[in-house]
Amino acid sequence: MHRWTKTPRCAVARKMRNPIQGKRITWAYNNFSGGRLGKGTDKPTTHRAKRALQAREPKLVENTKNTLFIRGRKTSGIVYDIKKPHGKILNRSNDILPFENITPVEEFSRKNDASLFMFASHNKKRPHNLILGRMYDNNILDMIEFGIEHYKGLKEFKTQKVCLGIKPCLLFAGELFEHNHEYQRIKSLLVDMFQREKVQAVRLQGLEHVIMFTAAEDRIYFRSYRIQLKKSGSRIPRIELEEIGPSIDLKVRRTKIASDDLFKLACKQPKELKASILQMALSWMVKKVKNVSKDTFGTQHGQIHIPKQNIDKLQTRKMKGLKKTANEKKEQRKRKADAAGNGIGEGNAIKKVRIG
C-alpha cells in the first residue's frame, strides 16, 4: 500500500526557505510512480489548513464519496451534457490518456479529495468516450471505458422531473451482473457512482426516482424513471413508471479491474466498525425491555409509572408552633358532643332548609 510521503530533511532542505512564510520546503514523492509531483510544508501554517488536513485523514465512518469530472483534449457535446453538479468539474481541457498514464488523474484526485472520477473525451478512434473510475488510497482501483452510442437528454423528455437531491433506487437487470466477474465490478462501480448519502430509513413518499441498468452482450442500457403512486383501492398503492431521461446506451470498450487481493483490502472494514455493526444487529434481535434506556455514556435509565396520590391524606410534618392550645381542644370536643346529640355525624352533610 503506497501513501504520499515526504523526503527526509537534509542539509539542502534546511537551507531552502520560503521568503514569505519562512518555512522549510520539502518535495513530496509518490512511491507508486517514483517521481517528484509537488511540494508542501512541514506543518500547516493556518488553522484552516490544519482542519483541512484533519478532514482528509482516515475515519471510522468515511464521508460521502466525491466525484471529479475531467475534460479531455476534446470533448463532444453529448458527453458534456452528462456532467451534473454532484461533484467538482475541471473545465480546463487536459491532455490525459488514463489507460496509458493514470498518474495525472491520481494527482487530481488527491488534491480535490475525490475518490471517484469521470473522464470525458472525443476523437476519431473512440468517439463520445466516457471513462468511470474509483480510487483507493490515492491509487487507481477500477477503471471502465464506455462508448456512448445513443443519448437523449432531459430536454427531450417533456415530462415532470424529480426534485434535486432525491435519493434514487438503483435497479440492475441481466444475468451478466450476476455471473460475469467483470460485470460484477462494473455493477459495484455504478453503485458507488450513483448512490447518495447513506440513511437509516426512507419514507414511501420519498421514493420518486429509479435508475435502471440493463446488461445485454457488451452493452449497458441506462434509463431513468419517475415513480408515480396511484390509487389501488387498498393500502398498497399501484406503482407506475414514467421515463424522464436521460437515456443512454453504453458500449463497454476497455476495462482495468483490480486484483482480488487488492479489492478485498479496499473493502476491508475496521474492527471497531464491525463491533458497532454487530452490536446494532444484536440490539435489534434482543427483546426490548420497556421503560429502560441508555444514554451516550452508557448509563442506564429507568422510567417508573406510579398511580395518582391523594395529597389530602398525606401526613405532614408536625411542628410545635402549629399545635392546638387547650382552649381549642376543649371547643373541638364540645362541638363533637353537640353534633352527636343532634344526630349529625362527622361524615353526614348538612341539608339547608328554606323557611317562610
pLDDT greater than 50 at residue 2? no
pLDDT digits (tens, 9 = 90+) for 254-272: 999 999 999 988 888 777 7
Q: For residue 254, give the nearest of 180, 144, 133, 148 by alpha carbon.
A: 144
Separation between Cα atoms, residue 225 and residue 212, nearest integer Å: 8
pLDDT greater than 80 at residue 109? yes
Separation between Cα atoms, residue 7 and residue 40, nearest integer Å: 11
Model pTM score: 0.62
Query: What pLDDT does 76 receive?
Result: 65
Query: What pLDDT does 11 receive?
Result: 35
Query: What pLDDT does 356 receive?
Result: 47
**More confident: 134 or 6:** 134
Q: How far is CA 17 from CA 7, 24, 25, 245, 348, in A?
A: 16, 5, 6, 56, 103
Task: Output the CATH code of domain 67-266.
Answer: 3.40.50
Query: What pLDDT does 30 receive?
Result: 36
pLDDT greater than 80 at residue 288? no
pLDDT greater than 70 at residue 84? no
Query: What pLDDT does 278 receive?
Result: 66
Q: Where in the chain is the domain with CATH 3.40.50?
A: 67-266
Banded pLDDT at 27 (limits 50, 70, 90): very low
